[in-house]
Structure 1
């Protein structure tokens, strides 16, 4: 099995994560090949993606994986974000809109502000942010106003956690922001997982604990490009592999099934 792992520069925020990923695939006995994003666009990985897909895994950032899927002729997955089936665990209003509509809210100084805004489909366009006044819109100034966005009421979390979900089970929970001693309600997490309709084989459900102690779903992230957040390397790379195969339309090879033994 061959794992193509993106080679980031030291200035990239995910540089160490990519190096760890390469090492963990190597520990599992896979042939590891590092590549730069321009090489992907130049077709360096095309032969593996198209002719040897059963033996090929690609790991990298969100944009990299989406590009690899397109080069392999595969459809792109929908962003998971806030599934409607999990409304009972979200605990705040959320809706879709456009950047122009958000700009109009700011110009009118509407009572809905502040709101959290992130791209609905093209996550690379700008990082999700709280919009309360004009200066908060500056990073989006060169983006088409018709671009769809996901809008949410702002909730202040005292602690935030990532629950890694693999083959229908929570296999790791790691704190990534706030108080590391303020743990989310395990029953809430398990209840949401049971209610999740048609989840991917691997994903992350991010949870926040409010200052009042309520556990709310922050968002759901696809496993094809996740941060590890302390999870064991063997599990993390198995999640990447299983989800990659699912996105490529390949048969489930059972990777990671040992976790349920």
Structure 2
């Protein structure tokens, strides 16, 4: 197994997430190769892990006819959301101001950054030219702090705050219960929780483990999580399963 790491315009590792993965895989002794553009890779084998942006990873998956499932809001975790979430089209929200005061994000991962829509200016940067993407809509909740919980083979590796007030804390029992009830969970993923201004610990979303921010997770744990999900999706052996 080899690991391909994305480089930036300066030929250095493109960002801190990729560097953390590099450090973890290097510690385990795997061969590291680099790429600037995903199509530059000519000798890729199915078990070789791609560490890059979502589009890079999905490009390689498409070569093997792999389509990662949508796992943002798992059916078995609906009770942890604490708010209504539904699907719509961007045009339906953009063209109907009476539907504003709503949080939207694309169903297709990272197509644009999620945002609360309260006025016309909030729509700037949402969507893609010539497309009317499918979106998730959510009732607006005021989260005062947000955390990412990293899970590998059903075990919580760590939880890292990435936004909000460092003085407050989530209810760890709710997080543990959600992880244990996520029976359809992939082998590697992250699950985000937030604490509301009412003191509720709510599920924000689930993030698939093939390409996600590490938010300070130890590099060895991060690399093993990426490997677990890559092996599961490609139906290959997880050489980091130790």
TM over 0.5: yes
Asked if the contact 2:111–2:127 (Cα under 8 Å) also holds between the matched residues in 1, the reply is no
After TM superposition, the score normalised by the length of structure 2 is 0.92
Please report how far the alpha carbon of residue 227 of structure 1 lies from its aligned counterpart in structure 2 after TM superposition: 1.1
Structure 1: segments with no counterpart, 5+ residues: none
Please report how far the alpha carbon of residue 87 of structure 1 lies from its aligned counterpart in structure 2 after TM superposition: 1.0
Please report how far the alpha carbon of residue 145 of structure 1 lies from its aligned counterpart in structure 2 after TM superposition: 5.4
Question: Which residue of the other structure, out of 201, 212, 215, is the alignment partner of 2:201?
Answer: 215
For residues 75 and 29 of structure 1, what CA distance do their matches in structure 2 show? Answer: 27
Question: Which residue of the other structure, out of 37, 41, 61, is the alignment partner of 2:53?
Answer: 61
Matched, 1:178 2:170: no
The alignment's C-alpha RMSD in Å is: 1.9
**What residue number does 1:198 align with?**
184
Asked if the contact 1:100–1:145 (Cα under 8 Å) also holds between the matched residues in 2, the reply is no
The total of aligned residue pairs comes to 240
**What residue number does 1:113 align with?**
100
Please report how far the alpha carbon of residue 140 of structure 1 lies from its aligned counterpart in structure 2 after TM superposition: 3.2
SS in 1 for 2:43: helix
Structure 2: segments with no counterpart, 5+ residues: none
After TM superposition, the score normalised by the length of structure 1 is 0.85
SS in 2 for 1:164: strand
For residues 57 and 136 of structure 1, what CA distance do their matches in structure 2 show? Answer: 37
Q: Which runs of 4+ in 1 moved over 3 A?
A: 140-146
Matched, 1:96 2:92: no
For residues 252 and 29 of structure 1, what CA distance do their matches in structure 2 show? Answer: 14
For residues 141 and 175 of structure 1, what CA distance do their matches in structure 2 show? Answer: 28
For residues 22 and 7 of structure 1, what CA distance do their matches in structure 2 show? Answer: 11
Asked if the contact 2:24–2:221 (Cα under 8 Å) also holds between the matched residues in 1, the reply is no
